[in-house]
Structure 1
Amino acid sequence: MRQPDLSIVPSSLHLLLNKQWERLNTAVPLVLDTLAEASITELTRVVIGSDYVVDQLVKFPELLHNLVATGVLDRAYQRHEYTELLLVVELAKVDSEASMMRLLRQFRQQEMVRLIWRDLTRKASMLDTTRELSWLADAIIEGTLSLLYEQGCERWGTPYGPADDAGAREAQRMVVLGMGKLGANELNLSSDIDLIFCFPENGDTAGARKTLSNQDFFIRLGQKLIQALDTLNADGFVFRVDMRLRPFGSASPLACSFAAMEHYYQDQGRDWERYAMIKARVVAGDKEQGSELLTLLRPFVYRKYIDFSAFESLREMKQMINREVRRKGLEYNVKLGSGGIREVEFIAQAFQLIRGGRDSRLQQRELRNILPLLPELVGMPEQAVDELMAAYTFLRNAEHAIQAVADKQTQELPKDDLGQARLAFSMGFDQWDTFINVLAQHRAAVSQHFADVIAPAQEQSEAESLQQTEWLALWNGQLSEEDALDVITDSGFDDPLRALKLLSDLKQSRTVQVLQHKGVERLKIVLPILLEMIAQVDNATQTLARVLLLIQAILRRSAYLVLLAENPAAMKQLVKLCSSSGWFSDQLAKKPVLLDELIDPRSLYSPPDKAQLGAELRQQLLRIPEEDTEQLMEALRYFKSAHLLRVAASDITGVLPLMRVSDYLTWLAEVILESVLDVAWRVMVEKHGSPMKQAGVPCELDFIVIGYGKLGGIELSYGSDLDLVFIHDSDANLSTNGDKSIANSVFFTRLGQRIIHILNTFTAGGQLYEVDMRLRPSGNSGLLVSSLKAFEEYQQKEAWTWEHQALVRTRVVAGSARLGAAFAQVRASILQQTREQDDLKKAVVEMREKMRTHLGTSAKEAETKHVFNLKQDLGGIVDIEFLVQYQVLAYAHLYPELYEFTDNIRILDVIEKVQLLPAEDADALREAYKAYRAAGHRLTLQEQSNVISESEMTECRALIARIWSSVMES
């Protein structure tokens, strides 16, 4: 008689092992004699860990031989294998309801033996086990439902939806949603299954003597399915079925229509149901219709905005669970106790609900897929995620080991010595104390990370709490006007009367008056903290006005108040930036979703380079269906707004110098233009086919976007529009190769129009960029898109001097590299032409005087307002630009390096190098240019025009005027 492998088992378990082995020897002695030593060692582990397996091996004597001989213990199953085993081997034998019940139970029990064996011997990982258990459940539910549906149609008739216009009706099938662990493919060894039954449309059955409504049919079908799976008889059960997660719970009909489902969740869905629906998956029935239902319900689960109210809900749910744990004494429950499985799940689900509407990567069911995303998406430390994954794996393995003993749905740690010794052994420990210490470490780590994520915002000091109590009393109207003014004055506000009026105006506003109770409470949490922070800045009253502008904008969607309440660091950044610039409060009031950007100072003050910008935008757009142009446009707008906010934050805090600010703003425009061109090209090709290069040869994006002005000169500012020119390189006499073929020239014109539409159109997210196309050949009267040949001919024969000046600051910003190189050659040929210098100088000066007259400060304004226009007045920015452009046009034929760069600073470097200007003059122009642009940026952020007092920057102006006179008027 073969003996168990006593060498791997602690002495405390020898008695149990001998009893289990004796049972097997009685039932399958010959099979034991044939087992290899490795199988004996594995079987030893299994019989220690599971009475259930021993019971099944004794009940089905052929089972042990089949498991070992067929090799199924040594490999994982794929999803389809469970379906094939059930349908081909088992359900084919069904000839009655009783035989179906028996075969389902035997099938489940035999597969469970294999799964428990592989789990206890660690031939399967925890993730393998949970995934296969879920596939097993899927196969059983699907197979059973199909059989019962056929029987139901024979008995009650086939359910049909309403007739279409032609009178045809479509047969209806039930949709079974798997919730919880089943939905997430994370089923445990003895889990019940949470299901929801629904069907596409109301209607009636046809084909039987008695007609039923579709709802009655599917209720009966659902009852039959539950009975087949859940009934406990002499053969056991298949799965315990829980239907309490359906709309209205146990009080509602067992099955409801899609319309009823959507109506319920939109109008009455509660927060905990959002958590539940994260894991919803169609496990059986009409998969296609079920997928459409989940798409309909997605907005209920995932909000489009950042929804920090999820933390409030989670805390309430956790408090409820904690009360239940204390009431029932569940402290030793590895799922519900402190630091248990549920807390790991809550951490993942919190971020899914907060950010899932904005980032589709979080719209996944499996926790193992969500946790690794958190470092990138929410800034959770890698170490924290590693600890959570390790703890989750350990806890789930412990849960399986507990349940494997008797196939019971429990997560309670055993309290008896034998039970503790068995669990420790199944988990790979020689002693209970060692196991419980490791368990305690994992639970402590989970508790800490759970507290870090879910715990309320940081506690306040006694002084802070007292001050905020005073602010709250002021807001609630509990102070006299005199006392209220004292509070505001003592806090440090520079204009207490105005500050009090600002607060009073907000309180009396219509928005606050009609605010729901939850919104009022959220405002009362945030406002005192904000007021205390605002009181610390120098321009407190002005900052208050700016911050309250934002508060007014977000009151109707008070989830943004929760975002601030949950993130005191974001409130600090908000106050800091609004104190420095009114531009920030204006941007945030228009687009409150940008508040999310304030949460992590690391990303707020660390703008990426162009390659990182491009990679980030591509990743965001990849998650949007290509055909959804509207969503693509909104994503582009959010991307631009978010990065504009970041660069402005870095600018006013001095993190980025001026030149880097312009670089960043220019890179931002370039990566957006590249994406817009890709989107527009794809849409046009899908509709009309590719334009043809020659007969049978399609074009490969033979199109470029040329940037002029600030974009071309890598000198964009915050409010800059884009001066663009579009050029293609195809035969205008050929057409596209699609079903709706159009001439190449028409194709490229429409491509240009689509690009402008995407950039220019105002949507809910605002406008990407205002586009100016007036610098194209012949201006507004010219073609929207020119061929490169036509562009060159125009520049050679018809262009004015000012158009050649504009060409100095041009470069390709998106499109074909090959065509871009050809354009560079054309540009070079134009700029290096030999020009009569007197004529050139005269043309440049005349254009400069015309601009100064029409766009600069008028004589009356200069006399009455004493102001200076940074850009257009004598000694301003345009004087520097025209000086540079003149030098390029006058001397590029001698010094080709003059047109190598398009930005004024580097061109001035070349001008100095080739000695067209003295070094001190070139340096003076560079420094003045940078000073003007820095002042322009500051004015934009203060929401002011490019006009300063005539007493400012007088030295710069005088220097530029002198150099202009010496060069252009000599």
Structure 2
Amino acid sequence: MSLPFEFDNLPSPLQQQARHHFARFESEAAANLPPSQRQQLLLLFAVSDFIGTQMSRDSQWLAPFFAALSQHLRHPQYLPELTQALAQCQSEVEAKRALRRFRQRQMMVIASRDILGYAGLDESLAHLSELAEALIVASRDWLAQFLSGRYGYPCDAQGQRQSLLILGMGKLGGGELNFSSDIDLIFTYPENGCTDGDRQLDNQQYFIRLGQKLIALLADVDGDGFCYRVDMRLRPFGEAGPLAVSFDAIEDYYQEQGREWERYAMVKARVMGDCQPGDALAKLLRPFIYRRYLDFSAIDALRRMKALIESQLRRSALTNNIKLGRGGIREVEFVVQTHQLIRGGREPALRRQQLLPVLAELQRSNCINGQDFRRLQDGYRFLRRLENLLQALADQQTQTLPDNPEDQLRLALTMGYSDYPQLLEQIQIHMDGIHIVFKETIGGGEQDEEELGELPALWQHPEPDVDAILSEQGLEAELAGPLMRVRSEFSRRTIGPRGRDTLDKLMPRLLLELAGKTEQVPLFERTVAVVATILTRTTYLELLLENPAARQQLVRLCAASPWIAEQLAAYPILLDELIDPMQLYQVLPQDGYAAQLREFLLRVPEEDMEQQMEALRQFKQISQLHIAAADITGVLPVMKVSDHLTWLAEAIIEQVVNQAWQQLLVRHGAPAGAGPDKGFAVVAYGKLGGLELGYGSDLDLVFLHNARPGSTDGDKPIDNGHFYLKLAQRVLHLFSTRTLSGILYEVDMRLRPSGASGLLVSHINSYAEYQRQEAWTWEHQALVRARMVYGEAELVKQFNGIREQVLCQPRERKVLTQQVAEMRQKMRDHLLKGGADQFDLKQGPGGITDIEFITQYLVLAHGEAMPELTRWSDNVRILELALEKGLLSAEQADLLVRTYTDIRDSNHHLVLAGQSGVIAMKDRPPLCEQVATLWQAIF
């Protein structure tokens, strides 16, 4: 068979690369290769670093490699060969070595046959899938034998042996695995019971242990590399669920809690290996996957999934992605699986895991026409082969086209093109064709052109009749100037052809959204400010063009809040949140922020600190947008807005501390005596401590620890105290480092013992002594609003005891009154803003700070006699307790609570409106004067 291209015609760098790999051989067989085989080998080395690197490490396998290269086996005997190789292994280390060597050798053959044109796409995908299945099944069976000496074998109630059933998901389940794919697995077993060995385990314990070892055999990275990255997140309950569950448990889960995306995933599910209970499992799952009726709800579900994928692409700034991008492999899968989920309940022929046979069946049954069939089939085959060859360059899991010229040429040559531009042209043709069918199937329709009227001309015509068109479309005449200025400015910006076309379609639709709105000029300017930031990011322009709901929400939010408009302009990833209006205005429950943040961070590699930091910031911005949207629409009252902003901050603090801890753990180990808990605590003061956080609030924090003397137990041990100092520094670094999404929170540490000159983190005993012996009265005032927001139960109990003891100390009433009044005057002298005709809502007479000082004074003055006053850290509940204890009359308590909540509400909305907390004196809340009078009466 002739070679697809000549080695001598390759560019010099590729020839040098090939000769470099060839020079590393130490095999006599390599020196005596026939010219034709030498030519083949050099060609393979030139286009695949993976083949070159592996072969030079395993040169003794050269002769078997060429023997295998020339064979065409419909179903290679992977499993018998692998079982025989594993039978010689006496330990897991030996088994890992055998598995990895077998995998690398067979992958070289599969990749080489593809590159040289000896194998078609169907053979390559089938062999890659059969190899993975053999590695999984052989590993499972070897481990069952290996563990039998300790535990015996798992049995059901009748004593019949049971096996671990492994569901292959995704492309593995469909027999369409690509070259460097992860494998998605689910572990299950027929019945509960126990093992029959000397050390009995119940079946679930046994199968979880077996599953853990199986994952390690396949996924652990050592000197020989690894076999596959194993992803178990598709199992029932995801990361939170047990690693293996019984048939009964899996049936209950999918009947009661299965979600739409899990139906989509289950379409591809297939039991690995010949296993009799597999048929029973497939029958059990079928009602969940396939409905007995035509199920058009699948279209909306898959559209939402596609939106999530596009959102992830935008957040990751991924371009040129042949799998997830517009018209990519995933869109073919979505089209086919949409039809499967809609019709599979009635048409058994569609209940297959492989995509291409299902696609053929869809054409045969006239679900798709011949033209769409060819677009999908030809595009899918082209992109799947391209994906395989792309990954075979270096055995890396990627679907992103290379950006270096050498890899671009390698890819073009192996695909049969003389240069990369030719290949790119064909890629675009196929992806455009796929996207046409995708949009017809689940993409949704675009706005009626008739509704736009002359607005397209207003944006694109060289000399539009601006005044007439604006009037006709219900737009204000004052828009003419800003509109023409923006049109001229945007015309000078460098935007690609696709982006320019999208912008020209989008702007008339945005103008249409302004019709009937009030204050159209400022609204237009805010909206355009958002568009201006995404002019060169075509995917975001397309998001707004193709999602009418997203456009409507953009205009609605810009109309309601300049602050939200600024956030959207600064962080375009927030535009993804506008797609689903039902979700946009929903906020999470109290414990939902921590749970969703953990799930959000799972999408990011744990070891990639930069991406983890970026994800934290994105989660904060997304959550704040939802809270603000609910706020401006009245879904959340002011007290609840602060609650949600507080819960969000607490969830982020927990993750920041965990990340900082893990980073130090790797380097220094854990502090002696820390045990399962960290021995570290975060105390919140101020607005966070009082559950009164606002938009843009900073965090007043104090760090404590309860370390005993000693050192850490890692490779680079340090003193325990030094460890906690480094931990505090690392936490602050994670909060304050500026990434693409800004900083996480401003953190103020000045309330720690001894202020700015004090230690960054204090032992809790030293903190207690400082509060009792050295702290000023104003520091005890601050302690009223303090609470521990992160820390183990024992530290929380200890801190609460210290706080109560300090706040309940006996105090001379006259001295206390004088000190509080003096501190208040000092703050007003230094912090009061505005002129004579203005009122500062925070520092002005009768404002926020006066009410806070009254509240703190009541706790310090009466805490000794009424320790219950120290129970809460938020002002409103303290004032309610003061009323209950008779310290305030009903009128006084009502005055203070109403004024406090009204001002906080005003502050929230001033922030959202992009305004400061200094207002005109005539707009001062009328009750502030009464609060000022009450202040005078008390102090």
User: Do Structure 1 and Structure 2 share a fold, with TM-score over 0.5?
Assistant: yes
Q: 2:678 aligns with which of 701, 706, 712?
A: 701
Secondary structure of 1:830 counterpart:
helix
Q: Which amino acid aligns with 2:799?
A: F
**Partner residue of 1:281?**
179
Q: 1:734 aligns with which of 710, 714, 731?
A: 710
Q: 2:535 aligns with which of 552, 555, 565?
A: 555
> 2: distance between equivalents of 1:740 and 1:718?
41
Given the alignment of the two structures, is residue 944 of structure 1 paired with residue 924 of structure 2, yes or no? Answer: no
Write out aligned runs for 1:589-600 (5 A): 589-600=569-580
Q: Which amino acid aligns with 2:900?
A: Y
Q: 1:834 aligns with which of 793, 799, 810?
A: 810
Given the alignment of the two structures, is residue 680 of structure 1 paired with residue 660 of structure 2, yes or no? Answer: yes
**Partner residue of 2:445?**
457
Given the alignment of the two structures, is residue 603 of structure 1 paired with residue 583 of structure 2, yes or no? Answer: yes
- Computing the radius of gyration from Cα coordinates, the structure with the larger value is 1
**1:356-382 per-position Cα deviation (integer Å, ceiling 9, x unaligned):** 54799x9x9999xxxxx99xxx9x9x9
Q: Which amino acid aligns with 1:830?
A: V
Aligned partners of 1:507 and 1:513 also within 8 Å? no
Query: Closer, same or farther in 2 for the Cα pair 1:585/1:674, shift >3 Å?
Result: same
Q: Which amino acid aligns with 2:458?
A: L
Aligned partners of 1:837 and 1:890 also within 8 Å? yes
Query: Closer, same or farther in 2 for the Cα pair 1:354/1:684, shift >3 Å?
Result: same
**Partner residue of 1:155?**
33
**Partner residue of 1:12?**
none
> 2: distance between equivalents of 1:765 and 1:398?
41
Query: Closer, same or farther in 2 for the Cα pair 1:400/1:940, shift >3 Å?
Result: closer
Write out aligned runs for 1:879-918 (5 A): 879-918=850-889
Q: 1:473 aligns with which of 457, 476, 482?
A: 457
Structure 2: any 5+ residue segments left out of the alignment? 2-26, 76-109, 125-173, 183-217, 230-293, 325-329, 367-434
Please report how far the alpha carbon of residue 584 of structure 1 lies from its aligned counterpart in structure 2 after TM superposition: 1.5
**Partner residue of 1:691?**
671
> 2: distance between equivalents of 1:345 and 1:852?
57
> 2: distance between equivalents of 1:945 and 1:716?
16
**Partner residue of 1:821?**
797
Q: Which amino acid aligns with 1:460?
A: D
**Partner residue of 1:433?**
none
Aligned partners of 1:347 and 1:450 also within 8 Å? no
Q: 1:618 aligns with which of 598, 602, 617?
A: 598
Write out aligned runs for 1:249-288 (5 A): 280-282=178-180
Secondary structure of 1:228 counterpart:
coil
Please report how far the alpha carbon of residue 488 of structure 1 lies from its aligned counterpart in structure 2 after TM superposition: 2.3
Aligned partners of 1:581 and 1:941 also within 8 Å? yes
Query: Closer, same or farther in 2 for the Cα pair 1:344/1:579, shift >3 Å?
Result: closer
> 2: distance between equivalents of 1:622 and 1:761?
21
Given the alignment of the two structures, is residue 747 of structure 1 paired with residue 729 of structure 2, yes or no? Answer: no
Aligned partners of 2:314 and 2:540 also within 8 Å? no
**Partner residue of 1:776?**
752
Q: 2:700 aligns with which of 704, 707, 723?
A: 723
Aligned partners of 1:707 and 1:812 also within 8 Å? yes
Q: 1:228 aligns with which of 48, 72, 76?
A: 72
Secondary structure of 2:619 counterpart:
helix
Secondary structure of 1:943 counterpart:
coil
> 2: distance between equivalents of 1:477 and 1:247?
54
After alignment, is 386-395 or 510-519 more displaced?
386-395
**Partner residue of 2:849?**
878
Given the alignment of the two structures, is residue 485 of structure 1 paired with residue 485 of structure 2, yes or no? Answer: no
Aligned partners of 2:340 and 2:351 also within 8 Å? no
Aligned partners of 1:457 and 1:565 also within 8 Å? no
Secondary structure of 1:951 counterpart:
helix
> 1: distance between equivalents of 2:629 and 2:57?
70
Please report how far the alpha carbon of residue 344 of structure 1 lies from its aligned counterpart in structure 2 after TM superposition: 12
Aligned partners of 1:658 and 1:934 also within 8 Å? yes
Secondary structure of 1:851 counterpart:
helix
Report the RMSD for the aligned CA atoms in angstroms.
5.1
Percentage of identical aligned residues: 37
Query: Closer, same or farther in 2 for the Cα pair 1:355/1:550, shift >3 Å?
Result: closer
> 2: distance between equivalents of 1:630 and 1:786?
29
Aligned partners of 1:280 and 1:365 also within 8 Å? no
Query: Closer, same or farther in 2 for the Cα pair 1:400/1:786, shift >3 Å?
Result: closer
**Partner residue of 1:272?**
none
Query: Closer, same or farther in 2 for the Cα pair 1:725/1:158, shift >3 Å?
Result: farther
Write out aligned runs for 1:81-120 (5 A): none
**Partner residue of 1:650?**
630
Query: Closer, same or farther in 2 for the Cα pair 1:891/1:152, shift >3 Å?
Result: same
Please report how far the alpha carbon of residue 600 of structure 1 lies from its aligned counterpart in structure 2 after TM superposition: 1.2
> 1: distance between equivalents of 2:869 and 2:748?
26
After alignment, is 449-458 or 651-660 more displaced?
449-458
Query: Closer, same or farther in 2 for the Cα pair 1:344/1:389, shift >3 Å?
Result: farther
Please report how far the alpha carbon of residue 485 of structure 1 lies from its aligned counterpart in structure 2 after TM superposition: 2.4
**1:853-907 per-position Cα deviation (integer Å, ceiling 9, x unaligned):** 111136xx21xxx110000011110000000000000001111111101111111
Query: Closer, same or farther in 2 for the Cα pair 1:528/1:152, shift >3 Å?
Result: farther
**Partner residue of 1:713?**
690
Please report how far the alpha carbon of residue 914 of structure 1 lies from its aligned counterpart in structure 2 after TM superposition: 0.6
**Partner residue of 1:200?**
50
> 1: distance between equivalents of 2:528 and 2:891?
49
Query: Closer, same or farther in 2 for the Cα pair 1:173/1:411, shift >3 Å?
Result: farther
**1:449-498 per-position Cα deviation (integer Å, ceiling 9, x unaligned):** 97786344344273x132xxx12111113434xx202322443444x34x
**Partner residue of 1:423?**
none
**1:660-688 per-position Cα deviation (integer Å, ceiling 9, x unaligned):** 10000000000000111111111112211
- Matched length: 645
Secondary structure of 2:495 counterpart:
coil
Please report how far the alpha carbon of residue 601 of structure 1 lies from its aligned counterpart in structure 2 after TM superposition: 1.6
Secondary structure of 1:791 counterpart:
helix
Query: Closer, same or farther in 2 for the Cα pair 1:528/1:198, shift >3 Å?
Result: same
> 2: distance between equivalents of 1:941 and 1:961?
27
**Partner residue of 2:609?**
629
Aligned partners of 1:692 and 1:699 also within 8 Å? no
Aligned partners of 1:912 and 1:922 also within 8 Å? yes
Query: Closer, same or farther in 2 for the Cα pair 1:465/1:965, shift >3 Å?
Result: same
**Partner residue of 1:39?**
none
Please report how far the alpha carbon of residue 613 of structure 1 lies from its aligned counterpart in structure 2 after TM superposition: 1.3
Please report how far the alpha carbon of residue 947 of structure 1 lies from its aligned counterpart in structure 2 after TM superposition: 0.8
**Partner residue of 2:201?**
none
Structure 1: any 5+ residue segments left out of the alignment? 1-96, 98-148, 161-170, 176-195, 212-216, 232-240, 256-275, 296-337, 368-372, 416-446
> 2: distance between equivalents of 1:475 and 1:547?
15
Query: Closer, same or farther in 2 for the Cα pair 1:509/1:874, shift >3 Å?
Result: same
**1:178-212 per-position Cα deviation (integer Å, ceiling 9, x unaligned):** xxxxxxxxxxxxxxxxxx9844377999999xx9x
Query: Closer, same or farther in 2 for the Cα pair 1:620/1:384, shift >3 Å?
Result: farther
**1:734-766 per-position Cα deviation (integer Å, ceiling 9, x unaligned):** 211112011111100110011111111110111
Q: 1:516 aligns with which of 496, 514, 524?
A: 496
**1:268-303 per-position Cα deviation (integer Å, ceiling 9, x unaligned):** xxxxxxxx999633499x9989999999xxxxxxxx
Q: Which amino acid aligns with 1:734?
A: G
> 1: distance between equivalents of 2:591 and 2:71?
59
Please report how far the alpha carbon of residue 612 of structure 1 lies from its aligned counterpart in structure 2 after TM superposition: 1.3
